[in-house]
Structure 1
């Protein structure tokens, strides 16, 4: 559910939502009855009604009857029942998304101030604060908003399924037309039922584990499906808000220039940390597929514009600059028009656009030859060498139209294409590369030993490594290593940097984003990457001074890493060699903060607070060294991985740390919830961008400061929360066994939802072995949702004690401090999604029930304590009272999640018993595995959160 804000005008709409959900449920029932028979529908209905009644009133006899209904089903029947609930949840999600879209559309039509996070409301707020048009322009000129798509294994849906769901969304929206007749309505309902039937017949679970190529295409899907439309629409909404609030110039133009502040990034095909399937060749493939995708879109739009801008030179006078541009094109005109040289002779814009389409097709043909494995050279005389030349042609058409009084025409689809090209270039997105620090250290040691530059690199202390690497980077000549004499890992590491160099040439300098180093523990880890880049010709000295085409991003992930941010960053920026190379690359230091691992390591309170403090330290250090800073937030979809509403999350960052630039990962199921539909994508980009605008007011105004009293309190709370979390996770014997046995985390590894392994080491039941994503995924499936809230209650209770003054201070912090409010608001959502009664049933899966009882009792007590303390501090009667729409959505889902969780527990028990009984080394078919994997998908769809 994307909307998370209270609006009293919206609450009556819940009746409409219930009616739409009821319609979807009836149509799904029709499909099941017709295709599967009454027995399946009867079983689904019996479970649905039974668990709805159990939610209203506990009845042991009814619960026992429901469990008998579950355990007596065959695997095949169980699978059909799970699919019914899974598709139902998908339809509920569609109904909610459509309702919020209609609500926003009605607001736009009303002329009233729009929703919180809209450009309209944000600019009105800034205007009321006295921000002038000139100040607004200065603020916007410093913005850079960059979501980064990643392929973390939390998205369980197939692309085919999402396309089917998009069609349901579009048809359902047509039902909302105010003057629709009865006959047309019946036809639309028949169409909806047919689309639901197709959903039923489509396998929503992947048959095979996806390859990285599949994940690349999955990420590109969102551009084709929504973003190519959403990007220009976002700018249109901003322009409309500027006109409404700040007026227009006498010539009809806006009073300010709106820069291109949107950018998109990707890790898919570049993130090789822990994923051996991401090879250098895969990174090349990712860059080329992205370029292919965006060129196809430009060709489509330019071809369309050719049939729109049909102006005759007999009716208007194009500008001299435009005519000069057209004359320059004359050298390729024979190839373009092939014997019809007088084509569009009196229609200059159509002639220009025909030539532009030809040049784009020549560029695309080169990319496609490379994708086919050919060594193709770009025909520079007839193709576009880069996006700058394409943009120059678009702008000369735009300015020419304006010159003969047609600003309104220029501001239409042509401006949309300009906005798209400014955002996407020929690279589409910035592909980041990520690798773990020890891989670089080993490669550098091997290269230095082979080339006789240093035989003892691994034995050097940190100052020694920094001195040696600095000296080598500064050298005018370095001996080239022989790749054939290196081990496979070092050889591949070197090849990655060569690919970066080659792709910068092929797709443009922006095609490769930053090089992210996970597990950065020292400044030398960054210099090692810079040295490897130096060997590949990405950095060094030119005749006009130093150059650096490699932007290196240290990633701080664990609590320990966050505490040592200052040491690493100061050591790095104080190194003259690095400072000189950073200046040559634009003098912007990006620093990435990992939410998932720090939360898994020390709990939500310690993670959130150390991340908050680390941001302030990082910005202070970069300012002291005269360097601009960009923070890169490694957020996931769930609260335990830094998730939550984007607008509020950005506003909750420390004062004066955002500074106009923000970059954050969009992972797993978040991608499909935000970007599957154009309408929702426009909304999500807008609320994120306005969060960035409001959080960046320090660019034009003196920033507010956090109160010392709040900071000191939070510091103590973080310590108390971390201690409570570690008491459970690190110091309670057997807690990891409890996790592995009471959640489906082992079975998640069999679900074909990502190319990356879910564990770092197989058969290792340790906290360090399990990745942060399945850590959160497992706890969510079993309705513990523990990473998002554990330790908050213990910390609040211990800190306030029985002191009313301390309680009053906490309540004031919740009212006045965006960080603290966001933290507790997000925890309320996680607490609402948790269900201790269901979690207790999962605990019964553990082989050691005495251990399970001890662990679960700790969890249950802390859950009750956290609910009580959060409500007390937030001064609420019930969780999520401030967000009733979201609360209603979650309450509506629970009766349907309950049967799924109960079915999953049964399936886990049966599947594990079967596998435990198999002889060593022998594999037999497990009939329970397929329905079990579907149950994971279904619960993920119902909770709208996985990892």
Structure 2
């Protein structure tokens, strides 16, 4: 592949050089002198190998690595890993500086900013008031998951955050002389501390660790980023439309956060009912602590004195009511601020919020018996108090003060409530079917599993309507069924304890029929979450079917129409006040049928879902189960949303945020503001059908993609399902088995132990392992064959694909993401892994197939994009990958050698190989270098 010219950014190069020089100094002072020398030697040797491919250089590289001890290897690997972490910081910091410069020149006018997006709407003829229908429906909902794709320990993430902050201070040209020297010394010491912090976990992560890991980002960045996002939106609205027009627009709460951490039990036996309760209580503690912190800030600020202002009567009445509620406790709380009405009010509010925190702490410790009338027990009461203060401030001419920190807190209350994140519960469909079968057998003697689908739906509908639930003897139920029922008990309890909005949906993985959704509602009805009383339906739970495999995607129409044809389900959905939510799984569909079949199946599925929604008159929201990598639906969020089918987004989108994606997006506040903004503006643009007509897809385009997808799926399945020895190649030519020892998550890497089938291995481990060995083929395999067979010497077909690339966001995004993944692949390096196969012929044969498809993909994508090299249209990303490659290569050679050494040690099963820890370090380092795992 031709060398890509370096992206010309002097600031970035200077930043990289500064951090690398500091790392070199740390290595000289703190590392084994031999290791420091070998780092430089390896990098130079690999650069030469990349330049000319000389076999002698490869032999020299192997010889150098073979002579290294395990301890020396570990230090060398850690040095490479730390370099990548510092490179990531330099790039993030430089991008932030570029946006700041653009803001200084043009307010908020960087591509994808609120200013840029609203200006585009205005240019398209959309006035400020016309925005209201779009804003009223706007709902951006990222969902944090515990899927194990983050290879960094929390300690390392915190240390990297400190390096980022110190590096940021050095970007300020006003820091000179003594102050700059001091800042440099601080940065140097933090890099040294990173060197002394082990990046490999010594114990497995439990579910509680995962909960803590998700909560980590809120006080770190997300609370302030959320407030900043709303401020930026309002400022851009005024800048673009003017204060008078902007004043006519009501800005509703358009951002919320969701979570699967502690609620996702599909294939994870470590998630128990009490785990779900604990997750919500820990979330409640986190947001309550933030409210207390911000109440203190307001209490310090709002020093208005009686006689200097006149609060509203409603505000003064609320003070009297608070004092009556709190009794003697009010006397202590309000001491020292009786002449300052807003401080007085806030002191009483702080007392009530603190009492709420004490209750939460007791419940975390297992005592749910306590209650406290003085504590804030509903978010509405807290919100009302804040609004009273705001209205009162505005009444005496102090809107400018009300619109700052107080308004920020009001926005946070809208976004986070008392639950912080809306928790989804997920379980696999067969668990519900088995539980329902046991209950119906115990209560009514019905053999549920022998029934046809139509009869199942009839029985379920009738059973849900039975007031008070079915009467049955629970002593005869299996442990699995009792646990499944307990989950619904916990959901009912947490709604009472935390608030009605603490849960979002109950997600059913492997949904194959309408009865799978009705089964969940029957189980919910046994615990008072749904049912019928005095002829009135009620429903406090929303259910989302998850369609994952290619076959599942093909059956969406029959499942959804069958479900919505059930009068009982329609009645429950209507009284819940919820939209029907449908979740689409990117990971498993890609693992199942390849990237083309997956991408196209998901595209068509979205069109089908919204067509059913329109036909049935049921509003619907799509939930995208995306991972961090291209092979799991990843890629830039803004472009991904714009690539959805026309008029299918409609203001609302929900998607999973997994593992390392959370770190790269939310570990720093200003980056979090950028990432949230880009997602929200992508949603706004994709939802323009709410305020103006949009061009539908051309039928010819759909026909072309349908043919390409069929060709791509055939090629992918030929490799993964019909090539002898392919799965042996996967297990022997990648570090998939060692990834499980990284201790990065509580979820097993396989659905079934000892099952080495493509179905059993989880999509995360599947993608992670291929990426480590630089094959990354799940993100592109089949595209080259598909394009080649489609064109087959027909110039007109080639020209039609070129037009699609220019004019169709979906097709452009598909090939753009493939270019990114292809750029991270290296067939010469992956050949080293293929030599690990116990059968050399299989290793050579399968690698040859992958390498041939790689070349086809590169050639045909470049032909269609009319470019000379991959990522020619994204030189910044191309340069980033080029900077990493000379350090990634040596790591891959080390990893392949360590896998070989481990295989040789495996004969002695009773001893822990000395090569395991260095190998785990290579996995961490390569993940940092490629900036993604699963």
Output the TM-score relative to the length of structure 2: 0.98
Aligned match of 1:3: none
1:292 aligns with 2:285: yes
Q: Distance in 1 between matches of 2:613 and 2:106?
A: 44
In structure 1, distance between residues paired with 2:210 and 2:556: 33
Q: Show the counterpart of 1:427.
A: 419
Question: Once the two structures are superposed, what CA deviation does each residue of 1:517-540 show, in whole Å capped at 9, x if it has no partner?
Answer: 000000000000000000010001
Give the counterpart of 2:773 among 775, 782, 788. 782
1:903 corresponds in structure 2 to: 894
Cα contact 1:446–1:486 (8 A) shared by 2: yes
1:51–1:899 CA contact under 8 A, matched in 2: yes
> Any stretches of 5+ residues in structure 1 without a counterpart?
1-5
Mapped partners of 2:926, 2:625: distance in 1? 25
The corresponding residue for 1:818 is 809
Question: How far apart, in 2, do the equivalents of 1:15 and 1:425 lie?
Answer: 45
Q: Distance in 2 between matches of 1:344 and 1:532?
A: 53
5 Å matches for 1:710-749? 710-749=701-740
User: Could you list the per-position Cα deviations for residues 680-719 of structure 1 after superposition, in whole angstroms to 9, with x for gaps in the alignment?
Assistant: 0000000000000011111111222001110100000000
Determine if contact 1:33/1:40 at 8 Å carries over to the other structure: no
**How many Å apart are 1:340 and its aligned residue?**
7.4
In 2, Cα distance between equivalents of 1:659 and 1:545: 31
Output aligned runs, 1:377-392, within 5 Å: 377-380=370-373, 382-392=374-384
User: Could you tell me which of 169, 175, 178 is aligned with 2:170?
Assistant: 175
Larger CA deviation: 420-429 vs 802-811: 802-811
Q: Aligned partners of 2:513, 2:33: CA distance in 1, in Å?
A: 65
Counterparts of 1:59 and 1:350, CA distance in 2: 75
* 1:493 equivalent in structure 2: 484
How many angstroms does 1:47 deviate by?
Answer: 1.0
- 1:308 and 2:301 matched: yes
Q: Which residue of 2 aligns with 1:942?
A: 929
Paired residue for 1:682? 673
Q: Which residue of 2 aligns with 1:933?
A: 920
Shift of 1:941: 0.2
- Of 387, 410, 416, which residue of structure 1 is paired with 2:408? 416
Select which of 128, 133, 136 maps to 1:133.
128
**Structure 2 unmatched ranges of 5 or more:** none
C-alpha displacement at 1:480, in angstroms? 3.3
Matched, 1:471 2:485: no
2:314 is the counterpart of 1:321: yes
Give the alignment of 1:359-758 within 5 angstroms: 359-380=352-373, 382-451=374-443, 453-543=444-534, 545-758=536-749
Distance 1:129 1:336 in 2: 58
Specify the alignment match of 1:912 in structure 2: 903
Deviation readout 1:119-172 (Å, 9 max, x if unpaired): 010000000011111111221111110000001111100111111101100000
User: Structure 1 residue 27 and structure 2 residue 22: aligned?
Assistant: yes
Residue 857 of structure 1 corresponds to which residue in structure 2? Answer: 848
Q: Aligned partners of 1:748, 1:683: CA distance in 2, in Å?
A: 32
Q: CA deviation at 1:339?
A: 5.0
**Contact 1:729 1:736 (C-alpha < 8 Å) held by counterparts:** yes
Question: In the alignment, is residue 258 of structure 1 matched against residue 251 of structure 2?
Answer: yes
In structure 2, the residue matched to 1:211 is 206
Provide the rounded CA distance (Å) in 1 between the counterparts of 2:500 and 2:666: 26
Structure 1 position 454, deviation (Å): 3.8
- Look up the match of 2:869: 878
Q: CA–CA distance in 2 between the matches of 1:257 and 1:323? A: 28
Question: Is 1:46 the equivalent of 2:41?
Answer: yes
Offset of residue 433 of structure 1? 0.2
How big is each residue's C-alpha offset from its partner over 1:868-913, in whole Å with a ceiling of 9 and x where there is no partner? Answer: 1101111111100111000000011000000000000010000111
- Matched residues in 1 for 2:332 and 2:294: separation? 25
* Alpha-carbon distance between aligned partners in 2 of 1:928 and 1:881, rounded to the nearest angstrom: 40
Query: How far has the Cα of 1:86 moved from its partner?
Result: 0.4
Shift of 1:54: 2.1
- Show the counterpart of 1:163: 158
Q: Distance in 2 between matches of 1:478 and 1:290?
A: 31
Maintained 8 Å contact 1:484/1:491? no
Greater Cα shift, 754-763 or 290-299: 754-763
Structure 1 residue 257: deviation in Å? 1.2
> Aligned partners of 1:428 and 1:707: how far apart in 2?
42
CA distance in 2, matches of 1:766, 1:676: 36
Identify which range, 700-709 or 889-898, moves more after superposition.
700-709
1:279-304 residue CA offsets vs partner (Å, 9 max, x unmatched): 00000000000000000000000011
The answer to whether the 8 Å contact 2:103/2:110 transfers is no
Are 2:72 and 1:77 aligned? yes
Which moved further from structure 2: 482-491 or 732-741? 482-491
Residue 151 (structure 1) aligns with: 146
Deviates more, 1:370-379 or 1:897-906: 370-379
Partner of 1:555, secondary structure, is strand
Indicate if the aligned counterparts of 2:108 and 2:114 stay in contact, CA closer than 8 A: no
Question: Displacement of 1:112 after TM fit?
Answer: 5.8
Would you say the 8 A contact 1:366–1:376 is kept in 2? no
- 1:123 aligns to what? 118
Partner Cα separation in structure 2 for residue 106 and residue 295 of structure 1: 36
Counterpart among 196, 200, 218 of residue 201 in structure 1: 196
Distance of aligned partners of 1:151 and 1:587 in 2 relative to their CA distance in 1, 3 Å threshold:
closer
Give the aligned length. 931
What is the alpha-carbon distance in structure 2 between the residues aligned to residue 114 and residue 885 of structure 1? 19
Q: Which of residues 248, 254, 278 is equivalent to 2:271? A: 278
Which residue does the alignment assign to 1:891?
882
Maintained 8 Å contact 1:337/1:343: no
Matches within 5 A, 1:796-811: 796-811=787-802
Secondary structure class of the residue paired with 1:765: coil
Does the CA contact (< 8 Å) of 2:283 and 2:421 recur in 1?
Answer: yes
Cα offset, 1:23, TM superposition: 1.4
8 Å CA contact 1:369–1:376 kept in 2: the answer is: no
Q: Distance in 2 between matches of 1:360 and 1:630?
A: 34
2-side partners of 1:444 and 1:32: how far apart? 62
Q: C-alpha displacement at 1:853, in angstroms?
A: 1.3
How far the C-alpha of 1:836 sits from its partner, in A, is 0.5
Bigger shift: residues 63-72 or 689-698: 63-72
TM-score under structure 1 length normalisation: 0.97
Measured in 2, the distance between the counterparts of 1:203 and 1:705 equals 53
**Structure 1 residue 205: deviation in Å?**
1.1
Find the aligned partners of 1:660 and 1:57 in 2 and give their Cα distance.
52
Q: Secondary structure at the match of 2:243?
A: coil
